[in-house]
Amino acid sequence: MTQQAIQQIYNGARRGDIVAMALLGWLLKEGRGVEQDLGNARSWLQAAADKNLIWAKEVLGEMDLARKRGVSPARGEGIPASSAVNPYEELRSLIGLERVKQEVESLGNLLRIQELRKRQGLANTSVSYHCVFTGNPGTGKTTVARIVAGIYRDLGILKKGHLVETDRSGLVAEYVGQTAPKTNRIIDSALDGVLFIDEAYSLMGGANDFGAEAIATLLKRMEDDRDRLVVILAGYTGEIRRFIDSNPGLQSRFNRYIQFDDYTAEDLTNIFRLQMKKAGYKIRRDAYERLQGYFREAVEHKDRNFGNGRFVRNTFEKAVQNQADRLAAMKEIPSNELSILAIEDIEKLQPWK
């Protein structure tokens, strides 16, 4: 990895990009392109894990397990990630998403029973491991995709069970002859794991668009590497159904749809509370009641671009900024006020229109 790429990762981590945080932590843990620094590695990984990034939790689990065994967690130790995180516990801990939890657990039950039948020499029903996640932004699709990858890993369907996220920009090139190699490189990185393609319908373009080449390459690799590759497509419900229905190859491979519903106002409030807890904040009762009303108004007036979990994250960050502005105006700041969100901090949030 070039120093320029490492610098970009570092800059992203400093800006709060949780994937960059986890990647920087992993680079420091492994000593890839940087001097190995396990203390800093753990700090960056923990920051990403606190924001519910499953891969970061898995790497931290590997480090903890290695320490218990008295083994250095340096590059090449090869400690199985499956021992670090229970994907079912991770699934059940998610706020809301009750229908998704039921469907994912049902899928896991089916696969476990099929494996038991196989061991006893009984005939098995053909099961497709590929999935389509439909729903609006910020509803946890990427998080659940990581959990599904972990379930497949623990069931022995996938050797590694890692998740590679991409979109049109990661698959389609600008010039003739470059799209297939670019798509193949992404697929190669996802072998023995899950390839998660967000807004997959954006691959469907005009007559001179290279998206069709990416789709053709993907379909071929799904057949050639069917024992090593699982693909999850994600995006808005209507668009992704039309996309899959437009291509017989996609239709034949993707028949398991999981719908991600928008969060309720109660879900949004609970997510906000979880973020407060992780960041060490508390909220006064009157401010909490105003916050509940704020989320009810947001849900009432939402459109298809409503950010769900991302909206909560932005709301929390703005509330914290409002608190900082309020405290900075004081001549003396009481220490107990540093961790308290007051009603003024909530009332200053942008009105939902």
Q: What is the pLDDT of residues 53-81, one digit of tens each?
A: 888 888 888 777 665 544 433 332 332 33
Decide which of 130 and 351 is more confident: 130
Decide which of 311 and 75 is more confident: 311
Q: What confidence tier does 100 reach under pLDDT thresholds 50, 70, 90?
A: very high
Does position 3 have pLDDT exceeding 80, yes or no? Answer: no
Question: What's the pLDDT at 81?
Answer: 39
**DSSP annotation of 232:** E
d(CA 76, CA 73): 8
Q: What confidence tier does 6 reach under pLDDT thresholds 50, 70, 90?
A: confident
State how far the alpha carbon of 51 is from the alpha carbons of 94, 126, 276, 277, 313, in Å.
Answer: 12, 37, 11, 11, 10
Average pLDDT, the chain: 86
Does position 244 have pLDDT exceeding 50, yes or no? Answer: yes
- CB atoms closer than 10 angstroms to residue 49: 24
The yes or no reply on domain 87-260 and CATH 3.40.50.300 is yes
pTM (predicted TM-score): 0.71
CATH class of 265-347: mainly alpha
Contact 22, 44 (CB under 8 A): yes
Question: What's the pLDDT at 31?
Answer: 78
Question: What's the pLDDT at 231?
Answer: 97
